[in-house]
Amino acid sequence: MPDMATTGITLAELAARVGATLEGDGSVVVRCIGTLENAGPDAVAFLTSPRFRPLLAGTRAAAVIVTPADREATSLPRLVGANPYAVYAKVAAILHVQPPGAGGIDPTARVHVDARVDPSATIGPFAVIGARAIVGAHTVIGAGATLGEDVEIGADGRLYPRVTIYPGCTIGVRSIVHAGAVIGADGFGMAEEGGRWLKIPQVGRVVIGADCEIGANTTIDRGAIDDTVIEDDVKLDNQIQIGHNCVIGAHTAIAGCVGIAGSTRIGRHCRIGGAAMISGHLEIPDHTTVSGGTTIHSTVREAGIWTSVVPAMLHAQWRRVMSQLRRIPDLTDRVSALERAQRERSDRDPG
């Protein structure tokens, strides 16, 4: 497939392919995506927030992506859509195509004789493919990646360099795993006896669905008995830790540095902000948003936006606020005592 960033494409063809409304000259050819500030004359820029509207006047872009409300804000050719960020995503995917793998197995790779690698797949330098592993059609396995025994990677997937997939784990079609991710390491299962820790064998797998993306250096632990499950179209950012036996529902997105303890079930269409910490053995319902830095200690009973972090403030002000917060239990007790005393007086003297 040619790289559209080099060959270019007309706005009329772009509009048809992404489902946007074209206004202006459809014969204009664009080759790349750019910002309103820095786009060149061969780029299409995008306006997703009203606060950037003043930049329209000075942009050098050949065309812009806008909402219906902003269609009259510029005379440039434009692609109009109710969700301009989604239009931008589709346009970017067309203009900046990920090059396909060349196909074949690098001479330095180690592929077990019992592995099944589709002839159209690409196995990079020094990759290791274990016994009975399956690599689907057109999938690319990057340099130094390791697939353990009985691993299965679906068609059209991509594993970037140094990804490690432990034995028995599966990844669905069209899924992407970025460099350094570890899928299927042992969960943190320990039993204490006599002041020492006994390791509990982790015999489950990690099962990842179709169209998922796993960020760089993210780790997903295998289940203790049942599997850890990442459903279809889940998007995980970099440096996320997911404990054993977790289930992450389809279409959920989780930002970087989130920690999720074992046996947690997160619903579908959830959004988890960066650095949120989620304790184990709890549930979060569908369509829940957890703000960045929030800590969830118990099951969330109601979908909505959940926030627990204290906003940043000057240190002296923070110390004062924290001091006042520490006094709340004592103040609550004093108010309760005053209310009891008032009720007792009212009972003695109802008039």
Does the pLDDT of residue 201 top 80, yes or no? yes
Catalytically active residues, by annotation? 244
Does the pLDDT of residue 216 top 70, yes or no? yes
Sequence-distant (6+) residues with CB within 8 A of 38 are: none
Look up residue 164 and give its two tokens: 């490690």
Mean of pLDDT values over 177-203: 97
DSSP 160-196: -TT-EE-TT-EE-TT-EE-TT-EEEEPP--EEEETTE
Contact status, residue 147 vs residue 130, Cβ threshold 8 Å: yes
Does the pLDDT of residue 231 top 80, yes or no? yes
Helix residue ranges per DSSP H, the chain: 4-7, 11-18, 84-95, 315-326, 328-348
Say how far apart CA 185 and CA 167 lie, in whole Å: 9
Would you place residue 349 in the very low, low, confident or very high pLDDT band (cuts 50, 70, 90)? Answer: confident
pLDDT of residue 5: 54
pLDDT of residue 98: 84
Give me the percent of the chain exceeding a pLDDT of 70.
98
Would you place residue 214 in the very low, low, confident or very high pLDDT band (cuts 50, 70, 90)? Answer: very high
- Neighbouring CB atoms inside 10 A of 82's CB total 11
Q: In this predicted model, what pLDDT tens digit does every residue of 84-108 receive, in sequence order?
A: 999 999 999 999 988 889 999 999 9
Helix (H) or strand (E) holding 111: strand 110-111
Say how far apart CA 277 and CA 308 lie, in whole Å: 11
Sequence-distant (6+) residues with CB within 8 A of 281 are: 261, 262, 263, 264
pLDDT higher for 12 or 50?
12
Mean of pLDDT values over 270-275: 98
Does the pLDDT of residue 1 top 60, yes or no? no
Q: In this predicted model, what pLDDT tens digit does every residue of 139-158 receive, in sequence order?
A: 999 999 999 999 999 999 99
Does the pLDDT of residue 3 top 70, yes or no? no
For the chain, the average pLDDT equals 95
Does the pLDDT of residue 176 top 50, yes or no? yes
pLDDT higher for 27 or 98?
27
